[in-house]
Amino acid sequence: MKDNRILNVNSEIGKLRTVLLHRPGEEVENLTPDLLERLLFDDIPYLKVAQEEHDAFADTLRNAGVEVLYLEELAAEAISTSEELKMEFIHEFINEANVQSESLHKALVSYLLSFDNKAMVDKMMAGIRKEELSDYHSESLCDLVNVTYPFVCDPMPNLYFTRDPFATIGHGITLNHMRTETRNRETIFAKYIFQAHPRFKDKDIPLWFNRGENTSIEGGDELILSKDILAVGISQRTDSLSVEKLAERILFSDDTSFKTILAFQIPVSRAFMHLDTVFTQVDYDKFTVHPGIVGPLNVYAITKDPDNPTELKTTKEVDTLENILSKYLKRDVTLIQCGGGDEIISAREQWNDGSNTLAIAPGEVVVYSRNYVTNALLEKHGIKLHVIPSSELSRGRGGPRCMSMPLIRDDL
């Protein structure tokens, strides 16, 4: 047993102790209609209200005894540990923002260094407009062609969905390679946090996946069904090859208890974006689900090959979600359909992340207020709800699970 571990997440529902959030900032105000599709938003949230809603979310968690950490604070603290590291971070950020010209790179370095570390991280997240750089002038062909484009570094409005860029699994993390360029830039903050923040540096944190890999995986597709079973979506955002790599590393590690990776093949569409968009666990035996995912589904169970324990074995199953979950969790399960299965209500509440709940303990979840039909059903099934306001946060197409990355949960 290693005693230098700091992360611990072996279920979706164990009592939540420590969680990572990001309070939405100026990056959300830098969204414009032209950018929405590329930056994966459907509308422009009103930042003031989004922040109030997010503060209510954080307070709800704190009032339930959860320690709330903020991505932006950890990142600033991490780079404050060494001047050399800070410069490395700044150069990497600028390169990944696709800045080609050397003079622009230099101008950005001196602009970023004019802020203190926390303000600099906030600025990087918010995006940098050309007009902010006093000596900006179009130089490269690319600059000249894009002369009307306002940004030198794009905003990162999806950062408040901390679930996706990295994900805790057991005592380790997947530092993810995201499907899209816009979200891939987000993973740089976690890289420096785990490398240098005093809370995490030199701790035993196995890296199950790294951001430089060339297949994609996102945290919304990683669900820890039990200490033995990890579910992963093969989805719009996660490649089957990533699941294989993950299985290889986790199942052959002596630092986890996982024995089976269940790969769920889900439709490739925005309404089904990640596995946690279509189902989340709310209690030992209860899940809230998108009616479109009840199946039959193609599910692939990956285990060590009993006949050749140095190899993996993959078995395909075609069955309903209920049967699959019952079989692997070894208990009867109840699937609570978002919107009660009513065609209109389900579609509406699903769109607003009605089945994306964050469990803070078995049978106790955080939900959006606007999904009142689904919420009433959850209560009917004995689930304790912590209801948070949701007019603006929901416009980014993510719910309480998407907006949180657990770092420590009690084991069940």
Ligand X SMILES: NC(=O)NCCC[C@H](N)C(=O)O
Q: Closest separation between CB of residue 393 and ligand X, Å?
A: 11
Backbone dihedral region for residue 40 (phi beyond 0: left; psi -120 to 50: alpha; all else: beta): left
Residue closer to ligand X by CB (options 121, 275) is 275
Nearest distance in Å: CB 203, ligand X: 25
Residue 396 Cβ vs ligand X, minimum distance, rounded to whole Å: 5
Judged by CB under 6 A, which stretch of 100-108, 136-144, 271-279, 343-351 contacts ligand X? 271-279
Task: Give min distance, CB of 107 to ligand X, in A.
Answer: 30
DSSP 394: G
Residue 237, exposed/middle/buried by CB under 10 A (0-12, 13-18, 19+)?
A: buried
- Specify the residue for token string 């809230």: 288
Find the binder of ligand X among 397, 404, 405, 407 (CB under 6 A): 397
Q: How far is Cα 228 from Cα 301, in angstroms, rounded to an integer? A: 12
Closest CB to ligand X among 217 and 229? 217
Say how many residues touch ligand X, by CB under 6 A: 16
Stretch that binds ligand X, among 147-155, 223-231, 260-268, 390-398 (CB under 6 A): 390-398
Does 406 bind ligand X (CB under 6 A)? Our answer is: no
- The mark string for 162-191 relative to ligand X (x by CB under 6 A, - otherwise) is -xx------------------x--------
Using the rule CB under 6 A, is 40 a contact of ligand X?
yes
Is residue 302 part of the contact set for ligand X (CB under 6 A)? no
Q: How many helices and strands, by DSSP H and E, does the chain display?
A: 14, 19
Closest contact distance (angstroms) between CB of 235 and ligand X is 10
**Run of H or E residues at 17:** strand 16-21
Question: With respect to ligand X, which residue has the nearer C-beta, 163 or 197?
Answer: 163
Name which position in 57, 89, 160, 161 contacts ligand X (CB under 6 A): 161
Q: Which is nearer to ligand X, 14 or 398 (CB)?
A: 398
233 binds ligand X (CB under 6 A): no
With CB atoms as reference, the residue minimizing the distance to ligand X is: 220
x/- letters, 186..225, toward ligand X (CB under 6 A)? ----------------------------------x-----
Task: List the structure tokens of 400.
Answer: 């309480």
* CB nearer ligand X, residue 112 or residue 403: 403
**Of 291 and 398, which has the nearer Cβ to ligand X?**
398
Q: Which two tokens stand for residue 30?
A: 């830098």
User: Which residue intervals of 146-224 are DSSP H helices?
Assistant: 181-184, 187-196
Q: For residue 358, state whether it binds ligand X (rule: CB under 6 A).
A: no
Out of 162, 277, 281, 357, which residue is the one contacting ligand X (CB under 6 A)?
277
**CA angle in degrees (0–180, nearest 5) for 360-205-159:** 55
- The answer to whether residues 374 and 131 touch, using CB atoms and an 8 Å cutoff, is no
In this complex, which beta carbon is closest to ligand X, that of residue 112 or of residue 234?
Answer: 234
Contact 245, 222 (CB under 8 A): no
Q: Is 24 in the site for ligand X (CB under 6 A)?
A: no
Find the part of the chain contacting ligand X (CB under 6 A) among 94-102, 257-265, 295-303, 392-400: 392-400
Long-range pairs for 318-326: beta carbons < 8 A, 24 or more residues apart: 319/295, 320/294, 320/295, 320/296, 321/279, 321/287, 321/289, 321/293, 321/294, 321/295, 321/297, 322/294, 322/295, 323/295, 324/262, 324/295, 324/297, 324/299, 325/225, 325/287
- The DSSP code for 27 is H
Judged by CB under 6 A, which of 10, 11, 30, 158 binds ligand X? 158
- Contact between 392 and ligand X by CB under 6 A: the answer reads no
- Examine the residue annotation and report whether 402 is marked as an active-site residue of this protein: yes
In whole angstroms, give the CA distance from residue 401 to residue 273.
14
The first and second tokens of residue 98, run together, are 């696709």
Q: Does position 355 bind ligand X by CB under 6 A? A: no
Distance CA 175, CA 168 (A): 9
Helix (H) or strand (E) holding 380: helix 372-380
HEC string of 235-300? CCCCCHHHHHHHHHHHHCCCCCCCCEEEEEECCCCHHHCCHHHHEEEEECCEEEECHHHCCCEEEE
Among the options 142, 153, 338, 402, which is catalytic? 402
Which positions lie near ligand X, rule CB under 6 A? Answer: 40-41, 158, 161, 163-164, 183, 220, 273-274, 276-277, 396-398, 402
Enumerate the active-site residues: 402
